[in-house]
Amino acid sequence: MARLLREMVAARKPVAAVCIAPVVLSKVLGADQLPHQLTIGTDTGTAAALASMGSQHINCPVSDFVVDRANKIVSTPAYMLAGGIAEAAEGIEKSVKALLELID
């Protein structure tokens, strides 16, 4: 999975990361393929972990998403903030739409 993610970003293919997945993406990409703008919502501890790996964290409500257009990465907090599936679905659905718009 790590190899695939690195190759996708290097090839400028769109990638989406939902819930805690932005942390995994930041860890996988490492300093070689950073900086990237990502979100996990508003949790300060997890945001600090992203920053420590070189990513820029953007605060974001559960109903929204963040697009790093330069790197074609879409992220949304989902269950990092959601109290239920309907709440998570709103941000996830918007993220999928944004991801599809990034496809060349």
The enclosing domain of 67 has a CATH number of 3.40.50.880
Which residue's entry shows tokens 């939902």? 18
Render pLDDT for 50-95 as a digit per residue (tens, 0 to 9). Answer: 989 989 999 999 999 999 999 999 999 999 999 999 999 999 999 9
- Domain of 24? 2-102
Determine how β-strand 66-68 pairs with β-strand 56-57: unpaired
pTM here is 0.92
Q: Is 19 a catalytic residue?
A: yes
Catalytic residue among 5, 16, 19, 98: 19
Asked if pLDDT for residue 17 goes beyond 90, the answer is: yes
Residues 78 and 94: their CA atoms lie apart, in Å, by 11
Number of domains the chain contains: 1
